[in-house]
A and B are shown apart, each in its own frame.
Chain A
Amino acid sequence: MSSNTLSKKERLAITRQPMPEQPPQVRNRNFNEVNLGFDAETAVIEAQRCLDCPRPTCIDGCPVRIKIPDFIRLIAQKDFIGAARKIKEDNLLPSVCGRVCPQEEQCEKTCVLHGKFQPVSIGRLERFVADYEREHGQAQVKVNTPPNGKKVAIVGSGPAGLACASDLVQWGYDVTVFEALHEFGGVLIYGIPEFRLPKAILKYEIENLQKMGVRFEANFIVGKTMTIDELFEVGGFDAVFLGVGAGLPWFLNIPGENLMGVYSANEFLTRVNLMRAYEFPESDTPVKIGKQVVVVGGGNTAMDAVRTAKRLGAETATIVYRRSEVEMPARIEEVHHAKEEGIIFRTLTNPIEFLSDENGWVKAARCLQMELGEPGPDGRRRPIPVKGSEFEIPTDLVVVAIGNGSNPLISRTTPDLQCNKWGNILTNGNNGRTSKRGVFAGGDIVTGGATVILAMGAGREAARSIDEYLKTGIWDSEPESALKK
């Protein structure tokens, strides 16, 4: 049956295809990917649900405006490679975004089928074609533009940096990515765990960029190994893009936070993901294995930490979050998966102190019960403590996952780079131009902790702006804070 022959009614009659996944009680003991992905047949069925709307509202929900109905139509026609190419016109890393985008807040929320019917599984289809392309070795890595002799330095190998590098190299620039850590990918490698985003996928994408001519330098901290000025003067770069992310963990600032057994999410996840502490002592870096783990927070980071702790062998793994479940910023799928895996949710609960045993290890989290009051300035209802509601949750491992501020390494060594009071680099609208000539910025360092797709979008906007600057030599920039908008 050709997809063109289906009537609207027939399309509406197809149910949203379930994602095959590892059973919860199996996967919560291993680090393999939870979602197994559609097979070709399922993908085609799911694609047939799309109504190919004349005014496709789904596109409005995607921060980089992927031509969603076009790529889905190609899937329905079984042209999977064509579909992948279509997505890549707007999104460098569909294999990543298909897995980690908060689709329910973006493209799938604005799909016309949302509400009365269930939205088309845009993210899952995106993932399917990206995986198909990779598994069939069909990624395009040839650059057709001749080198233009201009050098661009990209600082940070997270999604913002990778997206910026990808565009520039295709336009003939000589691009070098500098990364502080020993592996590339930013949060995608050190933060998001293997069970949500397998490392091999990222490795493949980075190798493709290498094949396209992007140079990758690990163990290079801009601001320390070389300053930005030295990149221009000594390194001979014509422009610099800063995609350094929001890598400074926030703590609760409550008593007991420096006890043994209390980690920031960054430390916990870095030890496990980047340093592979899950295979200690096969790998040298250790991590504490908690029996009763408490993770504070309600975002993706908190979900990743709590599910990681469970996989490492925790008997109980508990989310402690001060608002209610509807306010949780995590992707719905992650919350859902976490519950299936036996994660305990204690919402409307706020820790006020961590208690110590006689040896200095954390033994309990003292908490307050909360209730929701009037909405605050961000529109979310503010949590208020319930008087006299103190209680303790026994724990031997706490992970604080309440977000990240901006890392001051660059701003401390670049006094002429304007930042706001939180250390976010100020840029000129969305073209990424900073207060310093030839220096651009994008991603979490500008917006504060956001999403992979927004970081990639910012990297591409900056690439366009870099191209324009290096072609015209004109620099006009009146940076402002991205947070105000």
Chain B
Amino acid sequence: MNLILQAEFIAPDIKKFVIAAPLIARKAKPGQFVILRVWEKGERIPITIVNGDPENGTVTLIIQGLGKTTRQMNMLNSGDYVHDLVGPLGQATHIENFGLAVCVSGGVGTAEALPIARALKEAGNTVIAIIGAREKALVICEAEMRTICDEVIITTDDGSYCTHGLVTDVLKTVIARNTKPDFVLAVGPLPMMRAVSEMTRPFSIKTMVSLNSIMVDGTGMCGGCRATVDGKTVFVCVDGPEFDGHQVNFDEIARRQKQFANQEKISAEIINKEPQKVLHQCRLAKAINEISKS
């Protein structure tokens, strides 16, 4: 069980956690993730390590409440425990000095792009961040991105903040500039990553996307996270999560992500109807831990 040291909402339904996990913090590299479980009968879900702090022995996670598990997690506060936390999983992002690197992110994907942007900058790249969000309130990690990147361009679907439009509209103008990007990273919803990949393809700009397939173990044991890249089956949890966006079969992943849509609805109803029960489920961990200590 891992103690939550800090927890705060940074946007509606998006919560930032600092969690004690000294071993994971020691090893975490940009692009890697953890798998967590909120309670005894909880699902195992993958969440990106936004920051690993070996000195303080903590990892930072930023979680968007979508379905039962993420919303249940977001009910927890400092002093509560995460039932299980395992990692760091997946391959670290391949970082090198490409020249001009563009990090395109949407929604909570901006949190996932943050450590990669930092690493790209440290490797000597000129880094442009393009951040997209539905509306102003959902723009996250802006200040952090601004301290890291050479340029930050923000766009909102409804025009409530900065430019009005989609990240691809911005990317188009960036590609049209005098210096073409040498590397593009896209993290966010699948349709966005796909659109970015389609946009960079004609220019042969190396484009990596971070696939978020449904996972169970995260160790390559179940094959549930499999995707097709360049005609070959890969396991996203061990071979990824980042792959060449020009080679990914997006249709297949999009379908596989919806495999459990019906069951997800049932779980969501439980949390809508009985939030107290769900909160109790995950608080039990804290109680047990305290009893076992005394």
A residues neighboring B (CB under 8 Å): 180-182, 218-221, 224-226, 247-249, 251, 253, 257-258, 260-261, 263-264, 266-267, 270-271, 275-276, 279-286, 288, 359-360, 407-409
Contacts and interface: CB of A to CB of B under 8 A. Distances in A.
- Going nearest first, the 5 A-B pairs with the smallest beta carbon separation are A286-B263, A267-B222, A219-B86, A247-B221, A283-B41
Nearest to A359: B255
Contact of A180 (B85, B219, B227): B219
Contacts of A360: 252, 255
Contacts of B221: 247-249, 266, 270, 407
Nearest to B232: A253
Contacts of A218: 84
Contact of A221 (B68, B219, B223): B219
B219 A267 contact: no
Interface string B82-96: 011111110000000
A258 B228 contact: yes
Classify chain B's interface size: 35 or more
A213 B255 CA distance: 48
Given A276-B41, A281-B266, A285-B43, A182 B23 contact: no
Contact of A281 (B23, B228, B267): B267
B41 A221 contact: no
A275 B223 contact: no
7 contacts: A219-B84, A247-B220, A249-B221, A270-B217, A275-B216, A285-B216, A408-B238
Interface in B92-116: none
B125 to A, nearest CB: 27
A285 B68 CA distance: 10
B220 A408 contact: yes
A224 B68 CA distance: 28
A224 B87 contact: yes
What is the predominant secondary structure among interface residues of chain A facing chain B? loop
Contacts of B88: 224-225
A248 B89 contact: no
Which one of A181, A271, A282, A408 has the greatest number of beta carbons of chain B within 10 Å?
A181
A301 to B, nearest CB: 13
Interface in B235-256: 238, 252, 255-256
B219 A182 contact: no
B287 interface: no
B171 to A, nearest CB: 29
Contacts of B224: 263-264, 267
Interface in B143-202: none
Given A225-B86, A276-B41, A288 B259 contact: yes
Given A251-B233, A260-B256, A409-B238, A284 B219 contact: no
Given A270-B216, A283-B41, A286-B263, A249 B86 contact: no
Contacts of A280: 263, 266
A284 B69 contact: yes
The majority secondary structure among interface residues of chain B is: mixed
B37 interface: yes
B270 A407 contact: no
A179 to B, nearest CB: 10
B43 A249 contact: no
Given A247-B221, A251-B233, A270-B221, A225 B27 contact: yes
Nearest to B260: A286
Contacts of B87: 221, 224-225
Contacts of A279: 41
Contact of A284 (B43, B85, B223, B252): B43
A280 B260 CA distance: 12
Contacts of A276: 41
Q: Which of A253, A257, A264, A267 has the most CB of B within 10 A?
A: A267
B286 interface: no
B43 A275 contact: yes
Contacts of A226: 23, 27
Contacts of B89: 221, 224
B2 to A, nearest CB: 9
B222 A266 contact: yes
Interface string B70-82: 0000000000000
Contacts of A407: 219-221
B226 interface: yes
Contact of B41 (A251, A284, A286, A359): A284
A408 B88 CA distance: 16
Given A284-B68, A360-B255, A409 B220 contact: yes
Contacts of A285: 43-44, 216
B24 interface: yes
Nearest to B227: A258
Contact of A267 (B27, B69, B216): B216
Interface in B12-44: 23-24, 27, 37, 41-44
A224 B216 CA distance: 17
B23 A270 contact: no
Nearest to B69: A284
Contacts of B69: 284
B42 A284 contact: yes
Contacts of B252: 258, 360
Contacts of A282: 41
Contacts of A182: 37, 44, 83-84, 86
Given A182-B86, A258-B256, A284-B267, 12 more contacts: A181-B217, A218-B84, A219-B86, A225-B23, A249-B222, A249-B223, A260-B259, A275-B43, A284-B41, A284-B43, A408-B238, A409-B219
Contacts of B85: 219
B43 A266 contact: no
Nearest to A407: B220
A253 B231 CA distance: 11
A409 B263 CA distance: 31
A409 B220 CA distance: 8
Nearest to B36: A219
A236 B267 CA distance: 45
Nearest to A289: B263
